[in-house]
Amino acid sequence: MIIHKHISAISHILPSLVCTAVEIFAVATQTADAGLILHSTMDNADVGAGAGTDDTGSGDFTVNNLVGSPNGTATETAGPQSVLSGATGIIGEALDFEGDGAPAGTRHVGYGDFYDHTNAPLGHTVSIWLNPDTSANGFPMAKGGSNPEAGWALFKVGNGLRMRGKPSAPAVSTLRDLRRSSGFEAGTWHHFAIVLDDVNFRLMGYVDTLGSGLSGTDNSWSIKSGSLNSYSSGEIWDSIDSLILGSISKAVIDYGFDGKLDDFAVWDEALTAGEVLGLYEVATNAVLNYNAAKFDSLKQIHDAASGTTAAIAGASGPDLFWTYASGLGSMEGLSGSSPSFTLVLNGSAGTGLASAAFVPSPAGTLVIVQ
């Protein structure tokens, strides 16, 4: 649902509607795109008791999906590994997965057998921020994908990674296995995205915006000998396993990831390289510090094209108006400074967004929604 259309629908239903600028702002920031199907911020307000004091050692707790259902459940079956809320995240707070890596990582967050890749709509993107405590091996996230299971999995190996999986049909299919020897160093926040591109039929990974590309070998990525990074039209990476954070999702929960996870999101579309870059840069910008849902609002503006504007609240900086813009040049990413940022999402078309300061009307002023 496009933000400006949502506002127009309200005025159509109530043509004489009069409200304050603050109310207009709330409408503009709370509309979600159908493309974003899961978003767990890991912020204290969105997990468990809401106070940053949750510990699976004392019982399971909920990890909310803010754009739909079901929610996730943080749990453990045996100590001393635990999932804890209240850790410092890349954006707000994060969940801390305490454990010693392989093979006894029973603590995890599970969402059930949901949020699979389909080819209607086309594409699939899974995004997460992670901060490893050590160089120990472990799975930050998975939906099957551990040979021979269908689906996908992200396996941290030392300071590097293996991204592996395969479609659910045909039944006998080559395991896709893309690798990178660095990018997950301990004690630092890293962004990872897995993209299933149903136009080019490629499995692609991104570590801190460095993508494997259509070849699978861009930016120091490699493909395991005998494997591949492509799939066929109509093939679906569907798994009967649960979507899991902090471990591997198969019959036995093990190989736990040791570290922090933050701002987990799933889209039922393939984000482009420019969009993955934008997602990363609006999060790491100290003024904006936008989470995945706020980036998705920017993406909606860009997708809707000319004439679309939305107001978005900054996490630590000012509230801004963002407007679709063209003629921005070919260099994708974020530039400028507050309040005048430019975000190029499509370098080949030179399109993106431009921001300006959000100036609310004086207190008590009435604004008619047109």
Q: Where in the chain is the domain with CATH 2.60.120.200?
A: 36-267
Q: Is the pLDDT of residue 119 over 90?
A: no
- pLDDT digits over 130-140, tens only? 999 999 999 99
Cα distance between residue 102 and residue 205, in whole Å: 23
**366 — pLDDT class (breaks 50, 70, 90):** very low
62-63-69 Cα angle (round to 5): 95
- pLDDT digits over 41-86, tens only? 999 999 999 999 999 989 999 999 999 999 999 998 766 689 999 9
Q: Within its chain, how far is the Cα of 299 from the centroid? A: 13
Contact in structure between 343 and 298 (CB atoms under 8 Å): yes
Beta-bridge partners for 130: 190, 261
139-238-41 Cα angle (round to 5): 50
Beta-bridge partners for 245: 109, 141
Cα distance between residue 362 and residue 370, in whole Å: 19
Cα distance between residue 225 and residue 229, in whole Å: 11
Contact in structure between 278 and 290 (CB atoms under 8 Å): no
Provide CB contacts within 8 A for 84, sequence distance 6+.
54, 55, 56, 95, 96, 98
Contact in structure between 197 and 229 (CB atoms under 8 Å): no
How confident is the model over 279-283, as a mean pLDDT?
A: 98
Q: Is the pLDDT of residue 299 over 60?
A: yes
- pLDDT digits over 124-180, tens only? 999 999 999 999 999 999 998 876 788 999 999 999 999 999 998 766 678 899 999
- pLDDT digits over 191-217, tens only? 999 999 999 999 999 999 999 999 999
pLDDT for 290 equals 95
* Residue 267 vs residue 238, higher pLDDT: 267
pLDDT for 318 equals 76
pLDDT for 5 equals 33
Q: Is the pLDDT of residue 30 over 60?
A: no
| Prediction pTM value | 0.88
Three-class SS state of 231:
coil
Cα distance between residue 365 and residue 167, in whole Å: 56
Fold of 36-267: Jelly Rolls (2.60.120)
DSSP code per residue over 28-68: HHS---TTEEEEE---GGGBTTSSS--BGGG--EEE--TTS
- pLDDT digits over 76-118, tens only? 876 668 999 999 999 999 999 987 554 445 789 999 999 999 8
Name the residue with tokens 């975000």.
Answer: 343
Structure tokens at 283: 């999060």
pLDDT for 134 equals 92
